Structure 1
Amino acid sequence: MTATTDKPACKAEQTAIAPTTHANFELKDVIKSIPRECFEKNRVKAWFNVFLSTAAVSLGYIAIAYCPWYLLPVAWFFTGTALTGWFVIAHDCGHRSFAQRRWVNDGVGHLLMLPLIYPFHSWRLLHNHHHAHTNKMEEDNGWRPWTREEYASASPFMRGFYRSLRGRLWWLASIAHWATLHFDPRQVKPRHRNAVRRSIAVVVIFATIFFPALILTTGVWGFVKFWLMPWLGYHFWMSTFTLVHHTDPEIQFYPAAQWHEAYSQLAGTLHCTYPRWVEILCHNINVHVPHHISAAIPSYNLPMAYASLKQNWGEYIQERQFSWAMMQRIINHCHLYDPRVAYQPFDRDR
C-alpha cells in the first residue's frame, strides 16, 4: 500500500526494507503504464513557467530593495524560493523536456542558472548520472550515505563536516555539492569535458562582471543583501528538496549486485507535499517519483503522471507531508548506511 503521511517515526530495528528480488517488473513496464499525454511538451505552459518565475523573482528583488529591514528575511526567503523556480525550469532544460530544440534548452538552461553561479552542462551531466544510478551505493552522486567503514576511516575534520551536513546544517549541503563537483571537468566522461569547460567559463565570466559591478554600485552590503542572502535561501530549498527526495528511514540504498532499476526509481524516491505556494513557485519539483521514472516528463505534467503511478504502482510509492517533525526524523536518524535497515544514526552501535 502507499505510505501515509501520518506514519509514526520509524525505529531502525523495526524498519522493513522490501528486497529488490521481489520486483518482477522492468522500468519500461512502469513507463508504458503512464498516459502518453504526460510526455507531451506544451510551449505555452513551458514559457508561462518562465514568466511566472521571472515575475516572482522580480517581485522578490523589489521587496528586498524597498521593504524595511525587519522584513528583509521574509523578502530573502521568498526571493530564494522564486530563484529555485528558475533552477527547476533549467532542470527541465537539462533533461530536454522544456523545448523541442536542443539549443533552446541549452540557452534557457544557461541563462537561468547564471545568477545561481551553476555551470549548466556540468550540472546536467552529473544529474543525469544520478538518474541512471538512483540509490545505487557505488554510483549515485546525490545524497549517498557513508558506510560506517567510510566514516571511521575519514579524518576528524571530514567526519565533523559529514555530521554537520547530515544534521543541523543540512540546509548548506547543496552548497558543498555545488562547490566540490560542478567546477571539475574530471567528474564527467572525457567526451563531455569541453561542454563542461564552456559552461564553467560562462559562469566565471558572468561572475567576474556581475559581482564587481554589484559591489561598486551597492557596496558590500548590497552584495550580501541582493545576492548572497537570496542565494542562501535558494540553497536551503535545494538542500531540503534533495535530501527529502531520497532520504527516509524506509528508503534503502543498494549495492550494484542487488540494485534493481525500476524498483529503485519507484521506491527509492519520496513524494513529499509542501505548502501550495512552494509547489507553485518551484514547479512541481517535489512530485518526484514520475520524474525518476522518466525525466522526459515536463514539470507541468508531473501531477498527472503521479496520479497514474499511484493507481498502478501505489504499493511501491513512499508519500509524506512536509513538516519539521519529518525533517527532525531525517536529520536525527538518517546518517550512516546499513544494509539491513537503510540507516543508522551516528551514535547507534552496530
Structure 2
Amino acid sequence: MQSNTVSQATVTASSPSTKELPFTLQDVKAAIPAHCFEPSVWKSLSYFFLDISIIAGLYAIAYSLDSWFFFPIFWLMQGTMFWALFVVGHDCGHGSFSKQKWLNNLIGHLSHIPILVPYHGWRISHRTHHANTGNLDTDESWYPVSESKYNRMPWYEKLFRFYIPLLAYPIYLFRRSPDRAGSHFSPNSPLFRPSEKWDIITSSTLWVLMVGFLGFLTYEFGWLFLLKYYLVPYIIFVMWLDLVTYLHHTEADIPWYRGEDWYFLKGALSTIDRDYGFINSIHHDIGTHVAHHIFLNMPHYHLKTATEAIKPILGEYYRKSDEPIWKSFINSYLACHFVPDTGSGVYYQSGWKSKDSSKTNKPD
C-alpha cells in the first residue's frame, strides 16, 4: 500500500496483524471524552427530521417541474438522501440514537421501511457483523471467501459479489452472503434467536405493506411514475450502501483472522476510515468507521472527536485512506477477491492475478 494512500497502515513482516495489541479496550475508551458516549435525543431527532424534510422538498420540486432535464439531478440527490436516512436508522439499530428503546425502534422503522430495509432483521444481522468483525469464520457481511471457495463459486454468485457488487444488497437481504444461510425476513432464519421472532414479524410485515403501497402507486399512476419517483433513487441508495460498506472492509492491507487468533478489539480494527468529501456531512460522517466499530453505541455526531482522541493510542493500528473514493473502489475491485485457505492475519488476494498466473503456468 502506498504511503500517500493509507496513512499509518503498511503491510510488512512486522505488520499489525502479526502482533498482539499493545493496548486494551479500556485504554482506548479512557482516551475518549465521556460526553462522546452520550446521545442527545433532540440532536438525533434533528438529523432525522432534516433528512425527511430534504427528501420531501426534493419530491415537491421534482413533481412540480416534471422535467426530464431535472430528473437525473433529482435521482442522484434523492438516492443520496435515502442513504443518509438509512444512516439515521443505523444509529437506531445500534442504540446510539437515544437511550429509549421504543424511540430507537420507532425512528428506525420510519427511516428504514420507506427504503425497503427490514429494520429489525437488518439490525440483528448488523449486530452479528459488529460482534465478529474481521473474523473469517463468523463475520456477517463483506467478509472474504477462501481461495478454494472462490474457485468453486458459480458464475452468478461471483457476478454479484465481485463484478457488480454495488447491486448486491437486496440479494443479501433475502439470501445473506456465501456460506451463510438464512433470510432477513423469516423469524426462523438462523440469524435470529427465538425471542426475536415478533421483532422480525413486525419489520417484515411493515416491509410487505410498503411494497404493497408501492404497488398501489404503480396501479394508480403507472410504471413510469414508480420509476421516476422511487425505483431510480432506490437503486442509487443501494449503490451508496454497497459502496460504503464494501469500502469499510475491503482493502488489500486489512488483516483477517481465524480461530483463537481473533478477539473483538483486534477484529474491530480491521476496518478503515475514508473521506467522502462534501458527502461526509450529508451521510452523517459514516466514513469515520474505526471508532464506530470499537464503540458501536457512540452517536455518529461524536465519532470525529472520538477518532482524534484515539489516534495516539492506536498508532500504526489506525487506518485511514486519503485516496479519492472512486480510486479506492477500483483498487479494491481489482485486488480483493479471496484470502488463503489457511492461516490467520491473512490478506486479500486478487482473482485476476490468479487467472493470469494459471495461464502463465499452463503447460504447452
Map residues 26-105 of structure 1 onto 2, 5 A cutoff.
26-65=24-63, 66=65, 68-105=67-104
**Correspondence for 1:326 among 315, 325, 328:** 328
Distance 1:221 1:45 in 2: 38
Map residues 267-282 of structure 1 onto 2, 5 A cutoff.
268-276=270-278, 278-282=279-283
| 1:211 aligned partner, one-letter code | L
Shift of 1:256: 2.3
Distance 1:231 1:83 in 2: 7
Shift of 1:238: 0.3
Please, what TM-score do these two structures have when normalized by structure 1?
0.90
Name whichever of 17-26 and 310-319 sits farther off. 17-26
Map residues 289-304 of structure 1 onto 2, 5 A cutoff.
289-304=290-305
The question of whether the paired residues in 1 share the 8 Å contact of 2:334 and 2:352 is answered with: no
Distance 1:61 1:318 in 2: 39
Shift of 1:317: 0.9
Shift of 1:11: 11
Q: What's 1:173 paired with? A: 168
Please, what TM-score do these two structures have when normalized by structure 2?
0.86
Name whichever of 191-200 and 59-68 sits farther off. 59-68
Distance 2:62 2:14 in 1: 47
Secondary structure of the 1:344 match is: coil
Shift of 1:39: 0.6
Q: Provide Cα deviations, 1:254-280, integer angstroms capped at 9, x if missing partner.
A: 1122113212212x111001021x112
Distance 1:259 1:224 in 2: 45
Q: Provide Cα deviations, 1:151-185, integer angstroms capped at 9, x if missing partner.
A: 2233x33xx43244323x12112222223242233
1:194 aligns with 2:182: no
| Gap runs ≥5 in structure 2 | 176-182, 358-364
The question of whether the paired residues in 2 share the 8 Å contact of 1:25 and 1:262 is answered with: no
Secondary structure of the 1:251 match is: coil
Q: 1:15 to 1:346 in 2, by over 3 A?
A: farther
The question of whether the paired residues in 1 share the 8 Å contact of 2:286 and 2:300 is answered with: yes
Q: 1:89 to 1:173 in 2, by over 3 A?
A: same
Name whichever of 20-29 and 95-104 sits farther off. 20-29
Q: What's 1:235 paired with? A: 238
Q: 1:225 to 1:107 in 2, by over 3 A?
A: same
Distance 2:6 2:23 in 1: 27
Distance 1:226 1:15 in 2: 53
**Correspondence for 1:222 among 225, 229, 254:** 225
Distance 2:142 2:14 in 1: 21
Distance 2:54 2:145 in 1: 38
Residue correspondences, number: 340
Shift of 1:109: 0.5
Q: What's 1:182 paired with? A: 184
Shift of 1:144: 0.9
Q: Which has the higher contact order (CA 8 A, sep 6+)?
A: 1
Shift of 1:107: 0.7
Secondary structure of the 2:352 match is: coil
Distance 2:41 2:220 in 1: 38
| 2:87 aligned partner, one-letter code | V
The question of whether the paired residues in 1 share the 8 Å contact of 2:84 and 2:284 is answered with: yes
Q: What's 1:161 paired with? A: 157
The question of whether the paired residues in 2 share the 8 Å contact of 1:17 and 1:341 is answered with: no
Distance 2:264 2:41 in 1: 31
Q: 1:343 to 1:303 in 2, by over 3 A?
A: same
Q: What's 2:307 paired with? A: 306
Q: What's 1:133 paired with? A: 132
Q: Provide Cα deviations, 1:40-76, integer angstroms capped at 9, x if missing partner.
A: 1122311210122112212332343225213322211
Give the alignment's Cα RMSD to 1 decimal. 2.4
| 1:162 aligned partner, one-letter code | K
Superposed structure 1 runs of 4+ greater than 6 Å apart:
none
Secondary structure of the 2:274 match is: strand
The question of whether the paired residues in 2 share the 8 Å contact of 1:17 and 1:252 is answered with: no
Distance 1:269 1:7 in 2: 12
Shift of 1:203: 1.2
Shift of 1:295: 1.1
